[in-house]
Amino acid sequence: MVLFTLFFEFFKIGLFSVGGGLATLPFLYDLADKYTWFTRTELVNMIAISESTPGPIGVNMATYAGYNAAGILGGVVATMGIVVPALIVIISIAKVLTKFKNNKYVDAAFYGIRPAVAALILASAWDVIQSTLFRVDKTMMEFFNWPALIFFAILYYLLVKYQKHPILYIALAAVVGMFISF
């Protein structure tokens, strides 16, 4: 019974949260108040773990919340709950898109959207960069996190020069991070 409720609640979240993982937060707070699956304090820990482990944050949150509520099966069921509405909605949109593939209005819309996407991603990149390469709260002298900046430059050079799989650079950075404090 709890599994059914879990699926239904996360199905609703999947259907109504627009704009990425953290958009699921208000819904999860709502669940904390409504059920005994997890408390608001536990939710804060869940956010920290979801944000720092691989995988989309929204999915991680669903798995963690589901496990807290009903064990391993709960984790799987809650995750499926959040994915199923996406499958229905996105496949429908993809079908419409295939139909209107060379429609001039659709083409014109994407002509406007593509530069916006580049800006969207640059803005997200800035979030990551400013928190790792700069110390915004410090004085001028300490503003630049020099070891991080130098490592950033080296990694960027290696990426452009060798074009290896991104996973390699992530693994390399993890190992280097264990020995050098950034």
Partner 1 sequence: MKEYLDLFCIFTRIGAVTFGGGYAMLPILRKEIVQNRGWATDEEIMDYYAISQCTPGIIAVNTAIFVGYKCKKELGAIASALGMVFPSIVIILIIAMFLSNIMSYPVVQMAFAGIRIAVGVLVVNATVTLFKKGVVDKSTLVIFALVFIILMFTSVSPIPVVIGSALIGILLKAREGK
In the region spanning residues 108 to 137, those forming contacts with partner 1, defined by CB under 8 A, are: 108-126, 128-129, 131-133
Alpha-carbon gap, residue 46 to 68, rounded angstroms? 10
Q: Does 30 bind partner 1 (CB under 8 A)?
A: no
CB 115 within 8 A of CB 122: no
- 91: amino acid identity, one letter: I
User: In terms of CB distance, is 32 or 75 closer to partner 1?
Assistant: 75
Enter the tokens of residue 160: 């452009």
Q: Does 102 bind partner 1 (CB under 8 A)?
A: no
CB 82 within 8 A of CB 9: no
Q: Tell me which of 29, 146, 156, 162 binds partner 1, using CB under 8 A.
A: 156
User: In terms of CB distance, is 40 or 119 closer to partner 1?
Assistant: 119
Q: Which stretch binds partner 1 (CB under 8 A): 1-9, 20-28, 29-37, 136-144?
A: 20-28
Min. distance of Cβ 34 from partner 1 in angstroms? 20
Q: Does 58 bind partner 1 (CB under 8 A)?
A: yes
Nearest-10 Cα torsion for 46, 47, 53, 57:
110
Residue 139's φ and ψ, nearest 5 degrees, are -75, 175
Q: Which stretch binds partner 1 (CB under 8 A): 2-10, 29-37, 134-142, 153-161?
A: 153-161
CB 134 within 8 A of CB 144: yes
Q: Tell me which of 7, 10, 37, 151 binds partner 1, using CB under 8 A.
A: 151
Alpha-carbon gap, residue 12 to 159, rounded angstroms? 41
Q: Does 36 bind partner 1 (CB under 8 A)?
A: no
